Chain A
């Protein structure tokens, strides 16, 4: 039984990791007042980038290239949503569509007309001495692919940066009161552009994690709505980096349930488990109603006029 629980918790952390990366990046983006619906596009671009990069220089080159690809997609979004001040929702939707179609096309061009199954090297779980021997949660938290440990370091760093540095204050100021922030000499567009790029970078790593720590291959549309779930996680985590990471665990659990029930030979239809994370997203968004503290200027188009 202890093995069952332990395996389930390991699965929770494993499936939560890509969601947490994406949600952490989107938290920073949204703090600047920009909602990037194109995050899904960064994730799928990161997934394809990971395959390409890993083909040249192994797992870590894969992650590096994934981050670059995620960033590039986010740059397209930023060009429209930040530089041109176009509608963020439409820009984001278009960028997602572009990246989903573009990765599908590129994959077939690069790896054959049918997109032949291609295997990349993957990260093996690395055990951290002592910590991994903590009862119950030790294995789940500390016998993971090393990219998960990068996340453990990144969450407090982003937390510190957002709340304890001058630059972090500037970022939050733009999201709350762009007029005041601009008057105080903060260059709104520049900060927002960088915040979108950072979100895309982590979105790319999120996609890289799907390939290099989980699937070991690229499948068209494998991001499967994680970008949108991550946006819900940001809400659930109340625009707080640590909150986002913890909320990601809830969604990790929802996905891991699927493997758990399959292992126990349940008769429930598998589509029920596949659909569960999406249902949970709706319930979570409804449940957090009225208790949120979203950046006041989130999603606004009229920064300069306010």
Chain B
């Protein structure tokens, strides 16, 4: 395999969780929900998938993969639902609650891989390997590129269609753009729509976690997410919150992370530089948008 080919494979493997968590963030932001918690929801999904993957009997074959993915989706949804409930019932700012839930998920996973779910020799802080039936099939023979990438692209297309053409998508967009107008003019139950978008966002992020476990790590580790949920914010914003755009920006950031890893190994540029670049991208995007908006306001 050529070096370029290896880079492309690595890039797409890295891009898979970024595209999916990017979709999760884009959906939430479209609805006016500041879900900074895709990271925690990702960890919740990964944890549930790994739990299923080590618990189910090996005899059920590929059913294990389906159950693991469903478990991941449900876990991510539940993790987001906590924040959604705190927001609708108690008015707790979701920015704070989702970040707190990120920390709680990290420590929760740490507890599980050092406690009840630790591999039998009790040496490493990780679970045993998941059953082979729960492994995501390989997309390109001889590489680590798995079907998760195809799922990511399919999810993006579905999300794009739902947001653009369905009534649900319209309600979500209307609630995000102007909740007051949506409530008074459109007879939209805004709090219900935003709660739905919040939970759906968590479900998608949870699926990303489950796919990562079934396609890449095959076990649950501490720090299974190197901050995907935060990178996802840059991915979503750079795509202008457009699900189809997220495919492109997700791949771009996948390339960035792959390159950052290579640069660290070869010339010692720290991988933390990637998050600096992400931050600069976010700031550049909002600065451009804001300057444009301000010009419209002043000229009007």
Q: Does A151 contact B (CB under 8 A)?
A: no
CB pair B103–A84 under 8 Å, yes or no, is: no
Interface residues of A in 215-260 (CB under 8 A from B): 220, 224-225, 228-229, 231-232
Residues of chain B within 8 A (CB-CB) of A93 are 36, 95, 230, 233, 282
User: Bound complex: CA of A269 vs CA of B112, how far in Å?
Assistant: 10
Please report whether the interface of chain A is mostly helix, strand, loop or mixed according to DSSP: helix
CB pair A90–B276 under 8 Å, yes or no, is: no
Type the 1/0 row for A110-139, where 1 means its CB is closer than 8 Å to any CB of B: 000100000000000000000000000000
Chain A residue at minimal CB-CB distance from B281: A94
CB pair A274–B107 under 8 Å, yes or no, is: yes
Q: Does A55 contact B (CB under 8 A)?
A: no
Q: Does B286 contact A (CB under 8 A)?
A: yes
Q: Does A282 contact B (CB under 8 A)?
A: yes
CB pair B286–A94 under 8 Å, yes or no, is: yes
Task: State the Cβ distance, B203 to closest chain A Cβ, in Å.
Answer: 21
CB pair A220–B111 under 8 Å, yes or no, is: no
Q: Knowing A97-B275, A101-B278, A104-B270 touch, does A269 contact B115 (C-beta < 8 A)?
A: yes
Q: Does A58 contact B (CB under 8 A)?
A: no
Task: State the Cβ distance, A103 to closest chain B Cβ, in Å.
Answer: 8
- Greatest chain A CB density within 10 A among B99, B275, B286, B287 is at B99
Chain B residue at minimal CB-CB distance from A273: B107
Q: Knowing A97-B275, A105-B276 touch, does A86 contact B104 (C-beta < 8 A)?
A: no
Residues of chain B within 8 A (CB-CB) of A89 are 34, 95
Binds A, one of B51-59, B86-94, B140-148, B184-192: B86-94
Residues of chain B within 8 A (CB-CB) of A76 are 283
- Greatest chain A CB density within 10 A among B92, B97, B108 is at B92
Q: Does A303 contact B (CB under 8 A)?
A: no
Residues of chain B within 8 A (CB-CB) of A220 are 272
User: Bound complex: CA of A274 vs CA of B106, how far in Å?
Assistant: 10
Interface residues of B in 153-201 (CB under 8 A from A): none
Residues of chain A within 8 A (CB-CB) of B95 are 37, 89, 93, 228
CB pair B110–A271 under 8 Å, yes or no, is: yes
Residues of chain B within 8 A (CB-CB) of A285 are 86, 90, 92-93, 96-97
Chain A residue at minimal CB-CB distance from B82: A282
Q: Does A100 contact B (CB under 8 A)?
A: yes
Q: Does B291 contact A (CB under 8 A)?
A: yes
Task: State the Cβ distance, A117 to closest chain B Cβ, in Å.
Answer: 16
CB pair A91–B99 under 8 Å, yes or no, is: no
User: Bound complex: CA of A254 vs CA of B155, how far in Å?
Assistant: 41
User: Bound complex: CA of A239 vs CA of B223, how far in Å?
Assistant: 35
Residues of chain A within 8 A (CB-CB) of B104 are 275, 278-279
Task: State the Cβ distance, A268 to closest chain B Cβ, in Å.
Answer: 10
Residues of chain B within 8 A (CB-CB) of A105 are 270, 272-273, 276
CB pair B268–A113 under 8 Å, yes or no, is: yes
CB pair A282–B291 under 8 Å, yes or no, is: no
Task: State the Cβ distance, B234 to closest chain A Cβ, in Å.
Answer: 8
Q: Knowing A101-B279, A102-B276 touch, does A278 contact B103 (C-beta < 8 A)?
A: yes
User: Bound complex: CA of A115 vs CA of B110, how far in Å?
Assistant: 24
Residues of chain B within 8 A (CB-CB) of A47 are none
Interface residues of B in 252-300 (CB under 8 A from A): 268, 270, 272-276, 278-280, 282-283, 286-287, 289-291, 294, 297
Residues of chain A within 8 A (CB-CB) of B251 are none
User: Bound complex: CA of A223 vs CA of B278, how far in Å?
Assistant: 20
Pick the residue among B90, B110, B279, B287 that contacts A98 (CB under 8 A): B279
Residues of chain A within 8 A (CB-CB) of B273 are 101, 105
User: Bound complex: CA of A98 vs CA of B280, how far in Å?
Assistant: 7
Residues of chain B within 8 A (CB-CB) of A37 are 95
CB pair B286–A286 under 8 Å, yes or no, is: no
CB pair A94–B276 under 8 Å, yes or no, is: no
Residues of chain A within 8 A (CB-CB) of B213 are none
User: Bound complex: CA of A182 vs CA of B86, how far in Å?
Assistant: 35
Q: Does B237 contact A (CB under 8 A)?
A: yes
Q: Knowing A101-B272, A225-B99, A289-B91 touch, does A90 contact B111 (C-beta < 8 A)?
A: no
Subset of 28 A-B contacts with CB under 8 Å: A76-B283, A84-B287, A85-B294, A86-B290, A89-B95, A93-B36, A94-B233, A94-B283, A95-B283, A97-B279, A98-B276, A100-B275, A101-B273, A102-B272, A105-B270, A225-B99, A228-B95, A229-B100, A232-B100, A271-B111, A275-B103, A275-B108, A278-B100, A279-B100, A282-B82, A282-B100, A286-B90, A290-B91
Shortest 7 CB-CB distances between A and B: which pairs?
A: A101-B275, A104-B272, A98-B279, A94-B282, A289-B90, A271-B111, A275-B107
Q: Beyond the given A97-B230, A285-B86, could you list 4 further A-B residue pairs with CB under 8 A, ordered by the A residue number?
A: A97-B278, A271-B107, A282-B100, A286-B90
